[in-house]
């Protein structure tokens, strides 16, 4: 069923891609991307958002913090590797120290004791590492199920996914439950942000795309991207 819907969306998307002329040089596949966006958004509206709202209603804050911390702790392994690959050895060691402290003293990561100790959390992935190595963004791509990416970040995503301890967890039932739990936890954290996007945007697709591209640029530069000159008023 979902495969057929996906195939339909893909077909529509490609047809749409031919029909509309893309206006933004960063987004040459706008027609396709808009179709994928509509597909993801529909799925989000019908499945992810209701599940996340229910999770938020049922699970008290401290429990949701523990779930977030548990998955966040696992991420620190590859945050550290990516920092090292980007030449930021101190940050890399911080990430691995975080993992060690949180796993041991934070009970498998459910308590973020490392942050209380002043070891700050980072946000790294292979897409950012490729960017630091000099790879450009490439065209903007909306991937089915995964959402906004660029060509470079899609390549990063493949490695992120392949190396992800949660994805490699076995048996398969456990892996699937973990992936689902992590997704719900993350989507729940974004409930406020996604409502804000609904209310703030005239064209949600464009707003989301630009926000994603700005966000990635900021992440690549660890929060300090070179400032673009203020345009004349």
Partner 1 sequence: MNRWIACAALALAATTAQAQAPVTPPDELVKSVMLEVADIVARDKEIQGGDRRKSIALIEQKALPHFNFAGMTALAVGPAWQKATPEQKQRLAEGFRSLLVRTYASSLTVFREQNFDFRPLRMKPGDTEVTVLVRVLQTGSQPVNIEYDMEKTARGWKVYDVRIAGISLVANYRTEFANVVRQSGLDGLIAALEKKNKSVEAPAAK
**Smaller CB separation from partner 1, 144 or 201:** 201
Q: Which stretch binds partner 1 (CB under 8 A): 68-76, 80-88, 137-145, 156-164?
A: 68-76
**Smaller CB separation from partner 1, 7 or 215:** 215
Please report whether residue 194 would count as binding partner 1 according to CB under 8 A. Answer: no
Which of positions 127-156 make contact with partner 1 (CB under 8 A)?
none
Contact yes or no for 128/222 (Cβ under 8 A): no
Contact yes or no for 98/76 (Cβ under 8 A): yes
Please report whether residue 63 would count as binding partner 1 according to CB under 8 A. Answer: no
Please report whether residue 233 would count as binding partner 1 according to CB under 8 A. Answer: yes
Q: For residues 133-160, b (16+ Cβ closer than 10 Å) or e, as one string?
A: eebebebbbbebeeebbbbbbebbbebb
| Tokens representing residue 81 in the block | 């590797």
Contact yes or no for 105/60 (Cβ under 8 A): no
Q: Which of 134, 171, 223, 229 binds partner 1 (CB under 8 A)?
A: 223
Please report whether residue 166 would count as binding partner 1 according to CB under 8 A. Answer: no
Q: Backbone phi, then psi, for 232, in 5-degree steps?
A: -65, 145
| Tokens representing residue 233 in the block | 């008023």
CA-based max dimension of the chain: 59
By residue count, the chain amounts to 233
How is residue 44 annotated by DSSP?
I
**Smaller CB separation from partner 1, 68 or 88:** 68
| Tokens representing residue 50 in the block | 């209701």
Q: Which of 40, 52, 69, 129 binds partner 1 (CB under 8 A)?
A: 69
The closest of 103, 93, 98 to 116, measured between CA atoms, is 98
Which of positions 88-127 make contact with partner 1 (CB under 8 A)?
112, 115, 120-123
Please report whether residue 44 would count as binding partner 1 according to CB under 8 A. Answer: no
Please report whether residue 219 would count as binding partner 1 according to CB under 8 A. Answer: yes
Helix (H, G, I), strand (E, B) or coil at 150: strand
Please report whether residue 202 would count as binding partner 1 according to CB under 8 A. Answer: yes
C-beta of 110: minimal distance to partner 1 in Å? 9
Q: Which residues bind partner 1 (CB under 8 A)?
A: 23-24, 65, 68-69, 72-73, 112, 115, 120-123, 189, 192, 195-196, 199-203, 206-207, 210-211, 214-215, 217-219, 223, 225, 228, 230-231, 233
């Amino acid at each position: 069923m979902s495969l057929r819907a996906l195939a339909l969306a893909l077909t529509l998307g490609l047809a749409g891609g031919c029909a509309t002329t893309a206006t933004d040089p960063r987004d040459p596949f706008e027609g396709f991307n808009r179709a994928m966006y509509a597909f993801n958004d529909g799925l989000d509206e019908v499945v992810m958002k209701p599940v996340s709202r229910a999770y938020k209603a049922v699970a008290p804050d401290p429990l949701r913090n523990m779930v977030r911390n548990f998955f966040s702790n696992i991420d620190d392994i590859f945050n550290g590797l990516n920092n090292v690959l980007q030449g930021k050895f101190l940050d890399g060691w911080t990430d691995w120290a975080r993992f060690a402290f949180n796993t041991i003293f934070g009970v498998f990561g459910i308590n973020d004791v490392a942050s209380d100790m002043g070891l700050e959390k980072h946000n790294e992935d292979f897409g950012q590492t490729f960017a630091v190595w000099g790879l450009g963004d490439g065209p903007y791509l909306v991937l089915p199920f995964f959402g906004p990416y660029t060509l470079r970040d899609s390549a990063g995503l493949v490695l992120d996914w392949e190396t992800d301890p949660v994805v490699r967890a076995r048996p398969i039932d456990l892996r699937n439950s973990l992936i689902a739990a992590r997704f719900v936890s993350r989507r729940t954290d974004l409930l406020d942000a996604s409502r804000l996007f609904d209310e703030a945007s005239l064209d949600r697709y464009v707003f989301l795309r630009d926000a994603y591209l700005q966000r990635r640029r900021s992440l690549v530069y660890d929060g300090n991207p070179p400032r673009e000159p203020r345009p004349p008023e």
